[in-house]
Amino acid sequence: MAFTKAIPTADVPEGGVASATVNDRLIAILNRGGTFYALDGVCPHEGGPLGEGTIEGDELVCPWHEGRFRLESGEASPDTDWVRDIPSFPVKVEGGCVWVDL
């Protein structure tokens, strides 16, 4: 695995979502309960910016059309069956930063 530094943990507050570019790929970084997740940063529906979404329960909600994706897997919610799954990526926290393995 080749982890790449994505974003300082301070830039993703508890319950927050942020965008990071990792190896020229837009990634949504999420913090729920102090656990960080990394999902693809572009909604497959119409290209919505998932890094500007919100966390509701264990799902990331797209800010454009409310597509929903599981934080841990990127799996599309059955409640929004018009979107497809998105990639999720391994994450580690080290030195005050979130690192992502693409």
Residue 83: how many CB atoms within 10 A of its CB? 19
Q: Residue 26: beta bridge partners?
A: 21
Q: In 3-state terms, the chain is what percent helix, strand and coil (to 5)? A: 10, 50, 45
Domain boundaries, the chain: 3-101
Residue 79: the pLDDT is 87
How much is the pTM?
A: 0.95
Q: What is the pLDDT along the chain (102 residues), one digit of tens a residue?
A: 699 999 999 999 999 999 999 999 999 999 999 999 999 999 999 999 999 999 999 999 999 999 999 999 999 999 888 899 999 999 999 999 999 999
CATH of the domain spanning 3-101: 2.102.10.10
Q: How far is CA 39 from CA 18, 85, in A?
A: 11, 10
Asked if 53 and 47 touch (Cβ cutoff 8 Å), the reply is no
Residue 71: the pLDDT is 98
